[in-house]
Amino acid sequence: MEHEILNFIEEIIEKDNETGKFGGRVHTRFPPEPNGYLHIGHAKSICLNFGLSQKYGGKTNLRFDDTNPEKESDEYVQSIKRDVQWLGFQWNGDVLYASDYFDQLYQWAQKLIHDGKAYIDFSTSEEMAALKGNLTTAGSDSPYRNTSPAENLDLFERMKVGEFPDGHCCLRAKVDMASSNMLMRDPVIYRIKRAHHHRTGDKWNIYPMYDFAHGQSDSIEGITHSVCTLEFVPHREFYEWLLVNLEIYRPQQIEFARLNLDYTVMSKRKLLQLVEEKHVTGWDDPRMPTISGMRRRGYTPESLREFVKRVGVAKRDNIIEFGLLEFCVREDLNKKALRMMAVLDPIKMVITNYPEGQVEEMKFDNNPENEADGSRLVPFSREIYIERDDFMENPPKKYFRLFPGGMVRLKSAYIVRCDDVLKDDAGNVTEVHCTYIENSRSGNDQSGIHVKGTIHWVSVAHAADAELRIYERLFTDPNPLGHEGVDFKTFMNPNSLTTIHAKIEPALTAAELGVAYQFIRKAYFCLDTEATTDKLIFNQTVGLKDSFKGSK
Ligand code: ATP
Ligand code: MG
């Protein structure tokens, strides 16, 4: 039997399944906070959580951790649902919300108070910080630590009904002010926030802290393996303390290394800043590392899933090259993209011996990688556009494209010989004049002429105009957040977007959203969501080769 290499989380799951720890169940969850759009790091967490349940015949919940009303909104909820499904995953049952559990969480807080394991603290945050101690010194007890359960219960109820202003007091778990884990030194579990919540409206004046909501939500849902990123390692002790002290079902928290990409900023807070300060056009700007930005850019779900698979699951933080993601995109698009002709920097060619007014339809394979994609006819005529850099007046050796006296094949059409060039007053070439070899038509070439170069073209009379948006890295520094005291926006690439006006073949006027095109010899492109029938706009998805200067 083939021996499969398991990642460390799969090892844990297989061991649990052997010992029967969760009765053989595997139930994971993806728990985003709806305070921004998802980014490629979340894609890793999504693929991991859904991948585990698929592999072991389990389930994955989608649960919104919506305990921070001021920063959260339904717009974010909707975008997250769309992104998860676009990546190819469907959550178990209905979408879930931590806010659905606010009543239960409130009762559990009352239980802790009742059991003498939580108290209301009226200290200011400065006073609390002063008593917290530090890594080498134990903290000291708050003067409110020994209030009776009865009095605390009453105070908690008054917090709830809105008797106190924001921040006037809070509820703290009574754990251990001398713990070596700072997060165990009587953590705050409820705070007063008389804020409107996107789902519960104005029902609550108090909201649970993330750490008081997350583990219990996992427990309520019967989650078995609660997979999260490494920064939650110090939170695990309190996660377990709560489950034990509330005497409820205990899921297992497991931490893995978050995805980091070079030249990329991935915190939602930072991405929000880019959006709000208009450094980008929105969360789905094709330069953004968001799933919606990547979708608009033309990245495919298959390529993101392949990328996550190649990155693997590690226990230690590392930084992945952006080039690996682009490699995965390119590999997938090579299989799928329809081959098209577009001239990005046009110069006119006149074929002087081709009859004026004549049009021939040239057969062009839609995708040599996939015969099922068939072929189409591309109109050819006496005047065509070619790329400016496919012609050189004084070519170096081994230049196989067009030059005076030289010959080249026009893709899927004829061989042409360059006879003459026209120039403007400044000496720039404005037109290339050629003659075509009549019996050299592609598919039926009887000329016996061998040429080394093939170039693409678009018939002038049939060409359409399109705006092409060409992207580079959003940041010029591999680690924009790694410079102390320097704002990460200092490293934004001023050339991250270039707009060019291209001549495209007529078939591209029927381009569709979500379809990949390869503009042959140039790059992969996709139609942009802003495009209209009057104004065609394409995004460059990725180049044909890894041409990034910063990559090894
Ligand atoms: P950010 O730090 O980017 O703001 P977050 O952790 O605050 O993200 P959440 O909405 O809380 O975002 O995250 C949902 C899930 O996605 C969590 O389980 C979190 O651990 C995971 N996650 C977030 N960022 C990454 C990442 N870069 N790599 C892997 N998983 C991630
Ligand atoms: Mg978070």
Say if ligand 1 is within 6 A of residue 289 CB.
no
Residue 546: per-residue pLDDT: 80
Using alpha carbons, select from 119, 214, 134 the residue that is nearest to residue 175. 119
Q: In angstroms, rounded to a whole number, what is the distance separating the alpha carbons of residues 196 and 181? A: 33
Looking at residue 4, its pLDDT comes to 79
Could you tell me where in the chain the CATH 1.10.1160.10 domains are found?
A: 263-338+466-543
DSSP tag of 475: B
C-beta of 158 in contact with ligand 1 (< 6 A): no
252-256 and 346-351: which strand pairing? unpaired
* Separation between Cα atoms, residue 176 and residue 187, nearest integer Å: 9
CB-CB contact of 293 with 325 (8 Å): no
C-alpha 162 to ligand 1 mean position (Å): 32
Q: Looking at residue 396, what DSSP letter applies? A: P
Using a 6 Å cutoff on CB, does residue 267 contact ligand 1?
Answer: yes
DSSP secondary structure letters along 6-67? PPHHHHHHHHHHHHTTTTT--EEEE---SSS--BHHHHHHHHHHHHHHHHTT-EEEEEE---
Looking at all shown ligands, the one closest to residue 45's CA atom is: 1
Catalytically annotated residues = 33, 258, 268
Domain with CATH 2.40.240.10 in the chain: 342-456
Domain 263-338+466-543 belongs in CATH node 1.10.1160.10: yes
Q: Which two tokens stand for residue 316?
A: 């230690």
For ligand 1, what atom is nearest to the CA of residue 49? Answer: 18
- Does the Cβ of 229 fall within 6 Å of ligand 1? yes
On whether the 8-256 domain is CATH 3.40.50.620, my answer is yes
Copy the structure tokens of residue 39.
């980014």
**Residue 430 CB partners (closer than 8 Å, separation 6+):** 347, 348, 422, 423, 424
- Distance, CA 42 to ligand 1 centroid (Å)? 6
For residue 63 and ligand 1, the question of a CB distance below 6 A is answered with no
Query: Could you say which DSSP state residue 432 is in?
Result: E
The Cβ of residue 448 has, within 10 Å, a number of other Cβ atoms equal to 8
- Burial code (b: 16+ CB inside 10 Å, e: under 16) for 363-378 equals ebebbeeeeeeeebeb
Distance CA 24, CA 56 (A): 9
* Residue of 33, 42, 253, 269 best suited for mutating to test ligand 1, as the one with most atoms within 8 Å of CB: 42
Q: What atom of ligand 1 comes closest to residue 39's alpha carbon?
A: 3
Distance 311 CA to ligand 1 centre (A): 16
Backbone angles phi, psi at 120, to 5 degrees: -85, 130
Q: Is 154 in the pocket of ligand 1 (CB under 6 A)?
A: no
pLDDT digits (tens, 9 = 90+) for 223-243: 999 999 999 999 999 999 999
The closest residue, in CA terms, to atom 2 on ligand 1 is: 267
pLDDT of residue 2: 58
Cα 261 to ligand 1 centre (Å) = 14
Instruction: Give the per-residue pLDDT at 551.
Output: 44
Helix (H, G, I), strand (E, B) or coil at 93: coil
Q: Which residue has the tokens 């934004």?
A: 492
Instruction: State the closest ligand 1 atom to the C-alpha of 227, by its place in the atom list counted from 1.
Output: 18
Mutate to test the pocket of ligand 1, among 44, 229, 270, 304 (most ligand atoms within 8 A of CB): 229
33 alpha carbon – ligand 2 mean position (Å): 6
Taking the centre of ligand 2 as the mean of its atom positions, its distance from the CA of residue 10, in whole angstroms, is: 24
Architecture of the 342-456 domain: Beta Barrel (2.40)
Q: Is 345 in the pocket of ligand 1 (CB under 6 A)?
A: no
Nearest Cα residue to 92 out of 48, 45, 42, 57: 57
251 lines ligand 1 (CB under 6 A): no
Of 426, 416, 418, 422, give the one whose Cα is nearest residue 395.
418
pLDDT in tens, the chain (552 residues): 557 789 999 999 999 999 999 999 999 999 999 999 999 999 999 999 999 999 999 999 999 999 999 999 999 999 999 999 999 999 999 999 999 999 999 999 999 999 999 999 999 999 999 999 999 999 999 999 999 999 999 999 999 999 999 999 999 999 999 999 999 999 999 999 999 999 999 999 999 999 999 999 999 999 999 999 999 999 999 999 999 999 999 999 999 999 999 999 999 999 999 999 999 999 999 999 999 999 999 999 999 999 999 999 999 999 999 999 999 999 999 999 999 999 999 999 999 999 999 999 999 999 999 999 999 999 999 999 999 999 999 999 999 999 999 999 999 999 999 999 999 999 999 999 999 999 999 999 999 999 999 999 999 999 999 999 999 999 999 999 999 999 999 999 999 999 999 999 999 999 999 999 999 999 999 999 999 999 999 999 999 998 665 444
CATH 3.40.50.620 domain residues, the chain: 8-256
Place of tokens 């004046």: 205
pLDDT at res. 91: 98
pTM summary value: 0.95
Measured from the CB, is residue 259 less than 6 Å from ligand 1? yes
DSSP SS3 for 199: coil
Identify the pLDDT of residue 117.
98
Residue with CA closest to ligand 1 atom 22 = 42
List the end-to-end C-alpha distance of the chain, in Å, as a whole number: 38
Q: From ligand 2's centre to the CA of 65, what distance in Å?
A: 9
